[in-house]
Structure 1
Amino acid sequence: MSNWIKLGHLNDIDDGCARGFDPHQLGRDSLFVLRKGDRLLGYRNACPHRGYEGTSMAWRKDRFLNKAGTRIICGAHGAQFDTETGECLIGPCPGQSLEKVILRLTETGELYLQQTPDNEQEQY
């Protein structure tokens, strides 16, 4: 699995919640993963409103979702995004979406991020 970076385990993320990860150990969560049962959705931790300049989506550590867990919320300006697609539903970035990351979940629950040429040198 040389093209994969281990993030953790499925049980590290509560069902219906999201958690930030720092796969390149830069001291900030550069992506976050949302858990829906055994399904995981991963997004770059940057709002498209700011041109993916690194504006963190979390309004507090590991707080990426609204209270109901139905939408991703940008802590910087309150934009709301669809949890399934990352599409902006409300806010200053209509027609834009969060950038998805490719994840792999093993049969034993280990969670990995696919390392691509775009994220090899921590471009997000």
Structure 2
Amino acid sequence: MATLLTAVDDIPEHGSYLFTVEEADGGLEEVILVRLSDGVSAWKNFCQHETDQRLDRGRGAAMREGQIICPKHGSMFDAETGYCENGKAAGSTLVEVDVSVRHGQVYLTDDEVSFSHEGGIDDGGAPSSTSHLSF
């Protein structure tokens, strides 16, 4: 079953859209959506060199010329294929999550995971806000 995630227009052109999925074992995993010239791709939100290193730390993944950049070591992953040709993660590929686009909407279609909430794991499903106020 496909789950609506967001509109393609809501994914930053230079950055990512972060959401959390639940895996079959009940564990949570973050996923990033990135825009491509002809669609979108979705990748689990960790560098292959160090799996505890998030590519999107909650403010969008750093990107340059179609590459997702690891903020710790600078390895660059092709946004379309997930493959890395440089740095400490060279020769590795990001873990893909299946999504599809229909009528400008992005759907999670991966049978291995289910949608948990928008944002990162630590966000716990709380509504996102652009406000920086705290009380």
- State if a TM-score over 0.5 links the two structures: yes
Greater RCO structure (CA 8 Å; 6+ sep): 2
State yes or no: 1:9 paired with 2:4.
no
Q: How far has the Cα of 1:43 moved from its partner?
A: 1.0
Distance 1:36 1:72, change over 3 A: same
- The CA distance in 1 between the partners of 2:115 and 2:38, in whole Å, is 29
1:110 match: 105
Amino acid at match of 1:58: D
Could you tell me which runs of 5 or more consecutive residues in structure 2 were left unpaired when the two chains were aligned. 23-27, 122-135
Distance 1:45 1:12, change over 3 A: same
- The CA distance in 1 between the partners of 2:108 and 2:87, in whole Å, is 29
- The CA distance in 1 between the partners of 2:75 and 2:66, in whole Å, is 13
Contact 1:13 1:19 in 2 (8 A): yes
Amino acid at match of 1:12: D
Q: 2:73 aligns with which of 66, 72, 77?
A: 77
TM-score (norm 2): 0.68
Could you tell me which runs of 5 or more consecutive residues in structure 1 were left unpaired when the two chains were aligned. none
List structure 1 runs of 4+ shifted beyond 3 angstroms. none
Q: How far has the Cα of 1:65 moved from its partner?
A: 0.6
Contact 1:44 1:100 in 2 (8 A): yes
Count of residues in correspondence between the two structures: 112
The root-mean-square deviation of aligned C-alpha atoms, in Å, is 2.8
- The CA distance in 2 between the partners of 1:100 and 1:121, in whole Å, is 15
Q: How far has the Cα of 1:59 moved from its partner?
A: 6.0
1:61 match: 59
TM-score (norm 1): 0.73
Contact 2:18 2:58 in 1 (8 A): no
Contact 1:59 1:75 in 2 (8 A): no
- The CA distance in 2 between the partners of 1:62 and 1:106, in whole Å, is 23
- The CA distance in 1 between the partners of 2:99 and 2:105, in whole Å, is 10
Distance 1:101 1:24, change over 3 A: closer
